[in-house]
Amino acid sequence: MRKILIFGLVFGLLLFSLVALADGPEYEKVNVTGKFGGTLVWSVFGSGPKTFNYPLAQETSSTTPLGFVFSGLVGEDGVTTDIKPELAKSWDISEDGLVWTFHLRRGLKWSDGAPFTADDVVFTFNDIAYNDKIQTDWRDVLTVEGKPFKVEKVDDYTVKFTLPVPFAPFLREVGIPIMPKHKLEEAVKSGKYMTTWGVDTDPKEIVGMGPFIMKEYKQGDRIIFERNPNYWKVDKDGNKLPFLDGMVMLIVPDQDTQLLKFQSGELDHLILRGEDYAVLEPEQKKKGFTIYKSGATFGSQFVTFCWSHKDPVKRKWFNNKHFRKAVAYAIDRKSYIDNVLYGFGVEQWSPVSPAVKTFYNDKVIKYPYDLEKAKEELKKGGFVLKDNKLYDADGNPVKFEILTNSGNKAREALGTMLQEDLSNLGMEVKFSPIDFNALVKRLLARPEGDWDAVIIGLTGGVEPNGGKNVWNSKGGLHFFNYDPKNRKCWEKQVDMLFEIGAQILNTRDRKVVYDKWQYIASDELPFLYTALAVRLEAFKNYVKGAKPSSYGQLGGLWNIEEIWLDK
């Protein structure tokens, strides 16, 4: 009898263990091993984030740190760019492609210990992304034909999305960071969401599902992160990731300072400029680090003018296509690549980076450096060169200001080069690098702009629809032309192309649509593209597990949960 009781007790405990295991958290097991502990130190240059509220962020100074704090239903592999499961472990698609059912990982917790459920997903989409009272660029890429997706809770761990029409980029676009309902619902209901989670908020109040949480923010100096004890990934032995105990993201004023900090041993990781390569390459063995070349970045760098300028004279210049073509011919891209990027760059002519092989169109109009052709375009546009000064048809001298973000030495050098070449065309140009966040604020002012021209860039990606918030005439980042009364026919055509392209499921046919968009962009020149840098990154040799990539703003830190320190 005693043996029977003992057997029954053991069997019962075993059965309980199996049930507990089945009902336990559904973590993602990653086939990695490493050493736990340590703090990674890296840096960004500029003045720091503008917000801790991800849906409101429009600049990399905010989205970069927040990218380590939040997770989405799906994510992207930083090397292959393939879609991979994140908070959703799997999904089903109806035969007509209109209904997507996502199955969430069970038993996960937010960084503050609250349970993660389908309610958080529905809240993120219905109460934030599709809330007209909240100004978020997410809405631009999460609609098709101006219609939102229908997002419904099936049960605590199942969410159903119903699309109004087929939407090819759905799986990539649906990966927006999921926000915590239990922390933000009251702010939404009270109409205070737009002022919630600003940079004056205690960082410990920011609750996410990412590998790290923010512990402390010292404005203009650094953000200190610590590992999220509730993160949903584990290593191959079942130990909770990330390996690192924490990170420190230093905020430095310029790229020269970043280089010096890496050389002095203050940084474990550095994104290099071309000019840094010549300095650091000979030091690799002696100082124990390795430089990685990952290819052209997926974004863009360009010059653009304010078509909705409050000054009617300047507005007339900037809306003149011949004026823009003249400036395009005055950009010496090859000299910029050779002398500023030190050969680590590629010319760019299209809104799609050459790195995006699926959708890149090489057969667009190109504007090689040629000041004589620039003068011809100015003449076609009604401008007159007299005594080495350029005047418009009404006799107004052409003078304006070009802005860029201070601390970015490459853009500052490009601005100086362009200023000199435009002076050779008779233009009086002032070049002014200013604080990045101040620059973004000026660019997004409505309804009229108080800026003339800017050299800036966009992060980009592998999916053209991801740029809809820039290219759609009503998009949140359609910053070159704010004025709905000034909409051009080609802008309306681009709006239509984006709607059509998103609904075509065949990739080859989609490319035809996006090729047309790229050609229109090269002809109308809302953005005058310059050159893209090749991504160069340096890691100290004791940093293990990093997978350097040219895709995305996080570069070699995209898989931060797998990175560990061997020291």
Residue 20 lies in a domain: no
pLDDT of residue 29: 97
Mean pLDDT of the chain: 93
Whether the pLDDT of residue 15 is over 70: the answer is no
* Tally of domains within the chain: 3
- CATH code, domain carrying 87: 3.90.76.10
Do 356 and 485 fall into the same domain? yes
Check if the beta carbon of residue 277 is closer than 8 Å to that of residue 283. no
Q: In this prediction, what percent of the chain has a pLDDT beyond 90?
A: 86
- CA–CA distance, 333 with 26 (Å, rounded to integer): 51
Q: What is the mean pLDDT of residues 232-245?
A: 97
Model confidence at 5: pLDDT above 90: no
pLDDT in tens, 207-221: 999 999 999 999 999
Residues 280 and 340 grouped into a single domain = no
Classify residue 62: in a domain, yes or no: no
304/291 same-domain check: no
Structure confidence by residue, pLDDT tens digits, 89-127: 999 999 999 999 999 999 999 999 999 999 999 999 999
Tell whether 276 and 332 lie within a shared domain: no
| 349 and 257 both lie in a single domain | no
Q: Please say if the pLDDT value at position 198 is more than 50.
A: yes
Q: How far is CA 20 from CA 33, 105, 171, in A?
A: 26, 15, 32
Predicted confidence (pLDDT) at residue 10 exceeds the cutoff of 70: no
Q: Is residue 65 part of a domain?
A: no
* CATH number of the CATH domain containing 262: 3.40.190.10
CATH of the domain at 415: 3.10.105.10
Taking 3-state DSSP, the helix, strand and coil percentages for the chain, each rounded to the nearest 5, stand at: 35, 25, 40
Classify residue 504: in a domain, yes or no: yes
Give the 3-state secondary structure of residue 139: helix
Q: How many residues does the chain have?
A: 567
Per-residue pLDDT reduced to its tens digit, 477-498 = 888 888 878 888 999 999 999 9
Is the domain of 98 the same as that of 163?
A: yes
pLDDT digits (tens, 9 = 90+) for 280-314: 999 999 999 999 999 899 999 999 999 999 999 99
| DSSP 8-class letter at 102 | E
* Residue 284 belongs to some domain of the structure: yes
Based on the domain organization, do 373 and 246 belong to the same domain? no
Q: Where are the beta strands (DSSP E) in 47-109?
A: 74-76, 83-85, 88-93, 99-104
Mean pLDDT of all residues in 528-554? 93
Cβ of 239: how many Cβ atoms within 10 Å?
A: 11
Same domain assignment for residues 310 and 456: yes
Domain interval for residue 242? 196-296+541-565
pLDDT digits (tens, 9 = 90+) for 310-334: 999 999 999 999 999 999 999 999 9
Domain end point (choices 138, 165, 189): 189
157's tokens: 């761990």
Of the candidate ranges 6-15, 131-140, 220-229, 384-393, the one whose mean pLDDT is the lowest? 6-15
- The DSSP 8-state label assigned to residue 194 in this structure reads G
Q: Which has the closest alpha carbon to 169: 491, 458, 467?
A: 467
Residue 45 within any structural domain of the chain: no
Model-level pTM? 0.85
Instruction: Assess whether 232 and 216 both reside in one domain.
Output: yes
The answer, yes or no, to whether residue 11 has pLDDT greater than 60, is: no
- pLDDT tens-digit profile of 415-451? 999 999 999 999 999 999 999 889 988 888 777 788 9
pLDDT of residue 133: 96
Same domain, 220 and 162: no
pLDDT(142) > 80? yes
Q: Does 27 reside within a domain? A: no
Domain closes at, from 189, 218, 242: 189
Contacts of 28 (CB under 8 A, 6+ apart): 85, 86, 89, 105, 232, 233, 234
Tell me, yes or no, whether 259 and 276 share the same domain.
Answer: yes
Q: Return d(Cα 368, Cα 348) in angstroms, integer.
A: 11
88 shares a domain with 102 = yes
Asked if the structure places residue 8 within a domain, the reply is no
